[in-house]
Amino acid sequence: GAPAFTQDPERVDRLRREARLLASLNHPHIAAIYGLVETAGEAPALVLELVEGGTLAARLARGALPLAEALEIARQMAAGLEAAHEQGVIHRDLKPANVMLTGKGAVKLVDFGLARSGPAGAEPDASTRSLTLEAQGTVFGTPGYMSPEQARGLPLDPRTDVFAFGCVLFECLAGGPAFGGAGALEVLARTLEGEPNWALLPGGLPEALRVLLASCLARDAAARPADMGAVRRALAALEAAGAAAAPPAAAHNLPLALTRFIGRERELAELKRLVGFARLVTVTGPGGCGKTRLALELARALAPAYPDSVWLVEFARVGEAERVPQAAAAALGLREETARPLAETLAEHLREKACLLVLDNCEHLLAPCAALAHALLAGCPRLKILATSRERFALAGEQDFPLASLTLPASEDPARLAQSEALRLFVDRARLVRPDWTLGAEATPVVARICRRLDGIPLAIELAAARVRVLDVAAIEARLDDRFRLLTSAGAPGAGGAALPQHQTLRAALDWSYDLLTADEQRLLRGLAVFAGGWSLELATAVCGEGRDEFEMLEQLTHFVDKSLVVVASGPGGEARYQLLETVREYGLAALVQAGESALRRDAHLDALLALGEQASPHLKGA
């Protein structure tokens, strides 16, 4: 008999409206829908155009497509989707199985059965509004092609098709999916939290095509092209530039930058020099200081110099030591071999290659990352490694590059302040959330004070700048006493998208470092927060020693310096003076209160200062 839904007049009426909507899509790259046939006692049926040929899925089963063929298919798909979007229709299930290839080389998009009307610039009329609202909060689509917002059951717009288009184009070029996995749940997890498997893409793709793919596959819909018209125009520009016949570009899996890189010219030049003669260079610094961004900018600049490419291995989401070689193998597109250590497979693959390997966020897996780096450098004479970590590996031949905060001039001259790296970063990120925002003469010293109080830490400055969407700069400055609540990613571009959890708030960046300490180290760091203007080795031992002598305290302070938590400088007479960055100190004070140790440590601080005063008193009389 007929399906149960045919007894529901509302659902049948909705099917009729859908048929009328889809029948309006008259375009050479969309399979035509001629109407709806209704027979008493039978299920209603759509009458579709007969398309002779096979699916793109069947073609891809034989492997990746040549670049020219992939771009031509992409151009036709984009044209069909653009026409659908202009009619307010979103496909929602674009995938190779729903792309027909005719014998004459034409593309026909089929199976708009999950399509839904969406925003097309005007309020939908009564005949289509129900389609717009239908099933919000319910997930439809195919894992591996549906966008993150579609997988979460959120309201959709044409950018969900842009994401699916990127997945299909990626598969055409790579011969495999952008987001693979053992099952639907793993595929969805990679779509929501991971990166496309860039290592699958062939070498020699035009850089502009990689840029287009990365923008289409951005997890944050706001970072994607606004619609398929923008994608089609980008493809046309590629064609006009002769992309299909372009000379090979150096292959790499480096992500594309979504924001401008501000300042750091001196650091880039120095790092480039160091990588020129050292085989292992480690960029170290506190959380949020810009280590990853600097390393990626350098890697992009150096990519043409490495004929066997540049590869990024990200460890921030790797939690277990044994998964370190697996992460490196995945980045390089290598498979684990039975009964053979993965490190050997990696070394053999890289043995004769002139390659730069970027190991990012190594601090929580320092020993296994160091072991991997040592093994690869020992067995691969042409390999170079650029690492980022809050602590160096301490390997023979390692060149450490401590990354300082962004610069601010001592001068209060507004013109000089406005040209500083810290203020330039603040202005650039503020304009991302408020394009009309300007740095006036009155605001300049306020922003300078904000940047100074944030120690010139790029992450903190970016998060503060994002608040200009809802606060003026004076209000932002006034709230810096509660900086850990103020400086979250709420309102920042891409918040909740690709950013790692430890990069989404200032507190999370410091939590990441704090959690890597032992309980004794955490207690000592909390205690050091009582020093407002720095301290000497003698004073630290008196206030926070708890049985440590000066040599033991020196060893611990050195450990904190290595972990980028304590800064050391020369005081009067050349004596070493130690200090916490103000942001780290504020974090430590909050932890001190939470641990119930504030009164104890402040009393010890007062006693030590009184003792110093008594020692100095005889020398001050008569002065």
H-helix or E-strand containing 176? none
Q: Distance between the two ends of the chain, CA-based, in angstroms?
A: 108
Cα–Cα distance between 172 and 60 in angstroms, integer?
A: 7
Residue type for position 51:
V
- Tokens 């930058």, located at residue: 257
- Longest Cα–Cα distance in the chain: 114
Contact 51, 110 (CB under 8 A): yes
Cα–Cα distance between 620 and 610 in angstroms, integer?
A: 14
User: DSSP alpha helices (H): ranges in 351-497?
Assistant: 366-379, 414-418, 421-433, 443-453, 458-466, 473-478, 483-486
The DSSP 8-state label assigned to residue 243 in this structure reads G
Pick the catalytic residue from 8, 13, 93, 472.
93
Cα–Cα distance between 623 and 608 in angstroms, integer?
A: 23
DSSP string, 472-530: -HHHHHHTGGGHHHHSBSTTSTTTTTTS-GGGSBHHHHHHHHHHTS-HHHHHHHHHHTT
Catalytic residue at 413?
Answer: no
Half-sphere exposure of 188 (CA within 13 A, CB side): 13
B/e letters for 572-583, b = 16+ CB within 10 Å, e = fewer, are eeeeebbbbbbb
Question: What does the block give as tokens for 246?
Answer: 């372009």
B/e letters for 207-220, b = 16+ CB within 10 Å, e = fewer, are ebbbebbbbbbbbb
Contact 315, 259 (CB under 8 A): no
Q: Which residues are part of the catalytic machinery?
A: 93
